[in-house]
């Protein structure tokens, strides 16, 4: 009889790159729960969504190994990091995949663009429960420490209860004093989108170029069941995200049109 069963293996990645404060804070928070394997991008990969590297090969470099924590840097995207970890580095299926803590929010429609959430979804594909964490603070030196107790609580609950197959959690933390925090709320993804503006500039050779900029527009600011509402009311928002993108509600009417 084993008195000391094998510790749970926790795979950690992010999209801000290996050196980011957010992943450092996440590793520290995860370590009490098990053995940690970190595979993170060498450089920032924000806005990479579910992109994979198919045209160039990947490099993988072991950066440090300590008891219960081995860390690799990968030249690819967050999704590449998850794929190569699961395929080449793990000795057993991870019990949990953590991504983040992202420097900046990934609420509402940002779930589609986010490399952090894509990494969590990539875990779903292999039936590994995943959580993407984001703090609504883009600053490279953002202070994550006030929120780590809450992050730890969420990790503990997911390890305890698991998640429905094919789903992961999109956790967003508002940047407010912890004393003002009202708790956690299970939400749906708010309907909204990024209103893009492209700033037009002219280079020294008189050729024009465009910088992407833009701001988020919430289409339903009063909907109390959305992540945007919860965040604006000082809750940590948790949206269960599924990788099945089928719109089941459209199927009946589409059958009438297309299956005739």
Considering only residues 111 to 170 of the shown chain, the ones binding a copy of itself according to CB under 8 A are: 111-113, 118, 121, 125-126, 154, 157, 161, 163-164, 166-167
Site for a copy of itself, residues 31 to 60, rule: CB under 8 A? 44, 46-55, 57-60
Q: How far is CA 89 from CA 38, 39, 42, 165, 171, in A?
A: 10, 9, 17, 23, 27
Torsion angle of C-alpha atoms 227, 228, 234, 239, degrees rounded to 10? 10
Name which of 43 and 143 has its Cβ closer to a copy of itself.
43
Residues 6+ apart with CB under 8 A from 169: 120, 130, 131, 132, 154, 158, 163, 238, 239, 240, 241
212 is an interface residue for a copy of itself by CB under 8 A: yes
Q: Tell which one of 1, 3, 4, 245 touches a copy of itself (CB under 8 A).
A: 245
What is the chain's Cα-based Rg? 20
* Given 26, 81, 119, 239, the residue binding a copy of itself (CB under 8 A): 239
Q: Answer whether 107's CB lies under 8 Å from 113's CB.
A: no
Distances (CA, A) of 141 to 84, 135, 137: 29, 12, 9
Q: Are 11 and 98 in contact (CB under 8 A)?
A: yes
Question: Residue 203 or residue 222: which is nearer to a copy of itself going by CB?
Answer: 203
Residues that bind a copy of itself (rule: CB under 8 A) add up to a total of 77
Q: Which is nearer to a copy of itself, 35 or 227 (CB)?
A: 227
Tell me which H or E stretch contains 68.
Answer: none
Q: Closer to a copy of itself at the Cβ: 142 or 163?
A: 163
Q: Interface mask (CB under 8 A) for a copy of itself, residues 169-198, using x and -? A: --------------xxxx-xx-x-xx-xxx
Q: How far is the CB of 89 from a copy of itself (least distance, A)?
A: 10
Indicate the residue among 7 and 88 with the shorter CB distance to a copy of itself: 88
Contact characters 73-92, a copy of itself, x per CB under 8 A: ------xx--xx-xxx----
């Amino acid at each position: 009889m084993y008195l000391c069963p094998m510790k749970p293996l926790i795979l950690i990645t992010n999209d801000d790159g290996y050196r980011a404060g957010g992943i450092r804070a996440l590793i520290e928070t995860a370590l009490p729960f098990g053995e940690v394997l970190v595979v993170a991008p060498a450089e920032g990969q924000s806005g990479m969504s579910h992109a994979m590297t198919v045209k160039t090969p990947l490099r993988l470099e072991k950066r440090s190994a300590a008891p219960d924590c081995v860390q690799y840097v990968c030249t690819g995207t967050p999704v590449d990091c998850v794929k190569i970890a699961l395929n080449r580095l793990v000795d057993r299926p991870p019990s949990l995949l953590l991504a983040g803590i992202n420097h900046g929010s990934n609420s509402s429609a940002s779930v589609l663009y986010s490399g952090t959430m894509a990494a969590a979804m990539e875990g779903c594909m292999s039936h590994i429960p995943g959580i993407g964490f984001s703090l609504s603070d883009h600053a490279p030196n953002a202070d994550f420490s006030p929120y780590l107790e809450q992050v730890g609580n969420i990790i503990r609950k997911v390890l305890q209860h698991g998640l429905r197959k094919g789903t992961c959690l999109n956790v967003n933390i508002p940047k407010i004093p912890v004393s003002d925090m009202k708790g956690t709320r299970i939400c749906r993804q708010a309907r909204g989108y990024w209103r893009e503006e492209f700033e037009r500039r002219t280079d020294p050779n008189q050729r024009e170029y465009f910088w992407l900029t833009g701001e988020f527009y919430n289409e339903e600011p009063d909907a109390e069941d959305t992540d945007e509402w919860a965040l604006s009311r000082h809750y940590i928002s948790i949206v269960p995200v599924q990788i099945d993108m089928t719109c089941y509600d459209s199927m009946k009417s589409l059958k009438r049109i297309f299956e005739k």
